[in-house]
Amino acid sequence: MSRHAELSIMNYLKIFFRRKEYFIIPVFTGLILGICAGIILPKKFKSSTTLLIEDGKSDNPLFNNIAVSTTVNQRLATIRESMLGWNSLVELVKRLEMDKEIKTPQELEKLILGIRDKIDINLKGRNIIDLSYVGATPETTQAVVKNITEIFIERNVNIQNRETADAIQFIEEQLRVYRGKIKSAEIVQLRDQLNALLIDSTERHPRVRELREQIKSKEQELERENLEFSEAAALDMSTTRPIIDEIRKALDNIDGGTVAGISLASGQPNKADEIQKDAYKLMLLDRLDNVMARDVQVNNQIYNTLLQRAETAKITQRLQASKEGTKYTILDPPRLPLKPIRPNKVLVGIAGAAAGAMFGIVLVFGLEFLDKSFIDVEDANKFFGQPLLGAISKINTDASLRKERERLSWLYSLVILGGIIAIVVTTALTTII
C-alpha cells in the first residue's frame, strides 16, 4: 500500500502550503511571460463606419415611376461582393500606395487577399451597412475604411448613372430608327403619289414638280441626319401591307383597262367609261393615302412614346444627380483608433498566470509524489498499520527559521526582479524595433 493511496483534503492542503513556493513562482513567471507576450505580439487596430443608403424620394407626382436604374434593395444583396471585389481592392491599394514594395503578381494577390480577410461587413436592417477593418497602424486602418467606403459609393453612383445612360442611349438609337422609318415612309408616300400622277401627267405638271422637290428635300433631310432609308418603310406593318397590295393591284387593273370587272381594252372607250375610270382611280388613291397614313401614324405613335421615355430617363438621370436621388449618408465616420484591440494584455497576462498555475500544481504534486517522507504521525500510522510509540519532529531553531525566511525572500526577490527586468527589456526592444 502506497503512502499516497489515501490522502484527505487536509493532507492535500498541507502538501500545497508546504511547497507553496513551487506554485507561486510558476504563477508569477507565467504572468510575467504573459505580459511580455502581450508587449511583443503585433498590435491590431480597428476602425469602422456606418453607412445609410436611402432611395430618392420626392413628393412631385412627375417623378413617380420614372426610375430606370435598380433600387437599393436590389443592390444590397451584392454589397459585399461590390466592396470586396478585386477591382475595388486594387483601386484601394493604389490609392493608399500599399503596393510600393510589391514586385510580383503573387505578392499583390497575397496583399489583396489579406486585406479582404481583415474587412468585415454587416448589413443591419434593410439599408444600413456596418463596415470595419483591422490593421497594423491606426492611420492605415482609418484610411482603408474611409477609402473603401468612398470607392463603394462612387462605384454605385457610376453603376446607377451607367444604367440610366445605357437606357437613354438605347432609346435614342430606337428614336433614330423610327425617325428614319417615318421619313422613309413620307418619301415612299410622295413617290407613290408621283407615280400615280405620272400615269396621266407629264413632268411639266406643277404637282409633279412639287412632289419631286418634296422628295428631294426629304432625301436630303434623311442624308443630313444620317438616317437609314427603308424602301418598304410604309409597308412593314402586317395590318396594312395586304390592303396596300390589293389597292395597288386594282390600280394596275385600271391602267390595264379593267374597271370593276369591265374590260375597256376592246373598242374605243366612251366618255362615261373614262369618267368612271377616273372616279374609281381617285377612290383607290384616296383609300391608299388613308392606309399609308395609318402606317405612318403607327410609326409616329411609337416615335412619340420613345421620345417620352427618353425624356423620362433624362429626368431620372438629373434626379439621381440631385438631392432627390439615391442618398449615401455616413452615420458614423471612420475614426482614428486610439487603442489597439489586440492583443489584450490583461487577458494574455491572465492566460499566462493560469498556465503557470497549472504548471505549479503539477510541479507541487510531482515533487510530493517523489518525496518518500511522511506528512505527520497520522500519515505514518496509516502507512504502517501499527501504533507508533512516538515521533520526533523536525527541530527548527531561530537560526534555521531565519535562514529559511531569507532563502525564500531572496528567491521571491530574484523572481520579481527578473520579471521586472524581462518586462523592461521587452518593452525597450519593442520600442526600438
Cis bond upstream, residue 343 (ω within 30): yes
* pLDDT score recorded for residue 379: 66
User: Same structural domain for residues 241 and 203?
Assistant: yes
Number of domains in the chain: 3
Give per-residue pLDDT as tens, 321-333.
555 556 778 888 9
Whether 73 maps to a domain, the answer reads: yes
Whether 186 maps to a domain, the answer reads: yes
User: Same structural domain for residues 176 and 316?
Assistant: yes
Q: Looking at per-residue confidence, does 167 or 355 come out higher?
A: 355
Q: What is the average per-residue pLDDT within 99-126? A: 87
Give per-residue pLDDT as tens, 120-165.
888 777 778 889 999 989 999 999 999 998 888 887 777 767 767 7
Whether 337 maps to a domain, the answer reads: no
* pLDDT score recorded for residue 32: 92
* pLDDT score recorded for residue 407: 83
* pLDDT score recorded for residue 259: 44
User: Same structural domain for residues 205 and 315?
Assistant: yes
User: Same structural domain for residues 375 and 400?
Assistant: yes
Whether 409 maps to a domain, the answer reads: yes
Portion of the chain with pLDDT greater than 70, in percent: 66
Q: Looking at per-residue confidence, does 33 or 374 come out higher?
A: 33
Give per-residue pLDDT as tens, 49-79.
998 887 655 444 444 444 445 555 555 556 7
User: Same structural domain for residues 237 and 314?
Assistant: yes
User: Same structural domain for residues 174 and 224?
Assistant: yes
- Is the pLDDT at 250 greater than 90? The verdict is no
Give per-residue pLDDT as tens, 402-430.
888 888 888 889 989 999 999 899 888 88
Is the full-model pTM beyond 0.75? no
- Is the pLDDT at 203 greater than 90? The verdict is no
User: Same structural domain for residues 134 and 273?
Assistant: no
User: Same structural domain for residues 194 and 252?
Assistant: yes
* pLDDT score recorded for residue 165: 75
Three-class HEC string of the chain: CCCCCCCCHHHHHHHHHHCCHHHHHHHHHHHHHHHHHHHHCCCEEEEEEEEEEECCCCCCHHHCCCCCCCCHHHHHCCHHHHHCCHHHHHHHHHHCCCCCCCCCHHHHHHHHHHHHHHEEEEEECCCEEEEEEEECCHHHHHHHHHHHHHHHHHHHHHHHHHHHHHHHHHHHHHHHHHHHHHHHHHHHHHHHHHHHHHCCCCCCCHHHHHHHHHHHHHHHHHHHCCCCCCCCHHHCCCCCHHHHHHHHHHHHHHHHCEECCEECCCCCCCHHHHHHHHHHHHHHHHHHHHHHHHHHHHHHHHHHHHHHHHHHHHHHHHHHHCCCCCEEEEEECCCCCCCCCECCHHHHHHHHHHHHHHHHHHHHHHHHHHCCCCCCHHHHHHHHCCCCCCCCCCCCCHHHHHHHHHHHHHHHHHHHHHHHHHHHHHHHHHHHC
* pLDDT score recorded for residue 46: 93
User: Same structural domain for residues 226 and 299?
Assistant: yes
User: Same structural domain for residues 26 and 81?
Assistant: no
Whether 369 maps to a domain, the answer reads: yes
Give per-residue pLDDT as tens, 380-399.
667 666 676 666 666 667 78
Whether 65 maps to a domain, the answer reads: yes
* pLDDT score recorded for residue 1: 40
Q: Looking at per-residue confidence, does 257 or 337 come out higher?
A: 337
User: Same structural domain for residues 159 and 182?
Assistant: no
Q: Which domain holds residue 314?
A: 168-321
* pLDDT score recorded for residue 143: 93
Q: Looking at per-residue confidence, does 281 or 383 come out higher?
A: 383
* pLDDT score recorded for residue 251: 56
